[in-house]
Structure 1
């Protein structure tokens, strides 16, 4: 359930964008009629309508996600709060200026926030953030925890750069595909690599003593 909630705004962004992109004229008319009062100039063109509608849907989905967790009395992760702040701020700018540039920065800023959290906790606070999260479940030597923490910081920093590159070097449609499939795929590969590395450094379980032969 949590995994579905985490990925729901991303999936809704992709589905909405693809649907509106295939009906650009309809999307422009719909956005102008229903969101024109939020847009500078009051009119949305066919070129920017798909990403604008997808952004609005994502904003609503993220707000609904936070409200749902609040009403259920569940803890809201810091990264979700940061994601909410970014999507509301940059999403509002995207809608008002009807420009996809702002929303394209959102994944990068989120990735860099994650990268900075691992970096700052280690360098300035002397803490290993990854060990704090997973230390109760995994037993690893100190050097392994240190390498893993650095790996998370470097990976998310690089992923933020990759998002900017795709956003500015390719079309909005290509960026949307990368946002959903490319970035997610890279995260899955990274997690698999982390799992393999952890398995190499986890202490081996003591073998169970052999049973004595029955007389």
Structure 2
């Protein structure tokens, strides 16, 4: 259910684009994002910062797309989001001396452990700092690459190709990066009991 909610605006964007056009799809994306924020708030009593940031980007660039009837604004959305994520990893690592990939990864692993073994269960996992540094760098480069690749596809291919790339290509490439991360840390995960 959570995964469906996370991707609902994107799914609706794709469906409306295929049946109507990019401007209606962009409007639906904005409305679905508002509904998504409302659901997150009702579910947990707060809305995570990343959801606010993604919504504001969708609202501003989507609003400009609809207002000016120019699809190039919405095409920039993925580039802005991926560039901000890459910049966040860079700044947090080299200015604040924090590895956000390590923090996120261990947080996810602990959440999985709690769901499988009950609350209070602590996952005994240590990933060498050098591996975490490599992963942080890999994700910085990956996110920067994706932000540039999105613009390349947007300006060198048809609107249909870009929409398909945004929905399926970006998701597929991100899945491969997650898979590479899991392969890299697999030997450091504890054995199943």
TM-score, reference length from structure 2: 0.87
Say which SS state the counterpart of residue 135 (structure 1) adopts.
helix
Query: Is the Cα contact below 8 Å between 1:107 and 1:160 reproduced in 2?
Result: yes
Match of 2:98 in 1: 127
Match of 1:16 in 2: 16
Report the alpha carbon displacement of residue 150 of structure 1 after superposing the two structures with TM.
1.1
Equivalences for residues 49-128 of structure 1 within 5 A: 50-128=21-99
Match of 1:195 in 2: 182
The C-alpha deviation readout for 1:138-193, integer Å capped at 9, x for no partner, is 42001001111111111111001010000000111110000011111101111111
Unaligned segments of structure 1, at least 5 residues? 21-49, 209-215
Report the alpha carbon displacement of residue 203 of structure 1 after superposing the two structures with TM.
6.0
Number of residue-to-residue matches in the alignment: 177
Say which SS state the counterpart of residue 96 (structure 2) adopts.
coil
Match of 1:142 in 2: 129
Return the alpha-carbon distance in structure 2 between the equivalents of residues 112 and 168 of structure 1.
17
Unaligned segments of structure 2, at least 5 residues? 110-124
- Would you say 1:176 and 2:147 are equivalent positions? no
Q: Aligned in 2, Cα 1:174/1:141: closer, same or farther, shift over 3 Å?
A: same
Return the alpha-carbon distance in structure 2 between the equivalents of residues 147 and 14 of structure 1.
35
Query: Is the Cα contact below 8 Å between 1:79 and 1:114 reproduced in 2?
Result: no
Return the alpha-carbon distance in structure 1 between the equivalents of residues 40 and 189 of structure 2.
37
TM-score, reference length from structure 1: 0.78
Q: CA RMSD in A?
A: 1.7
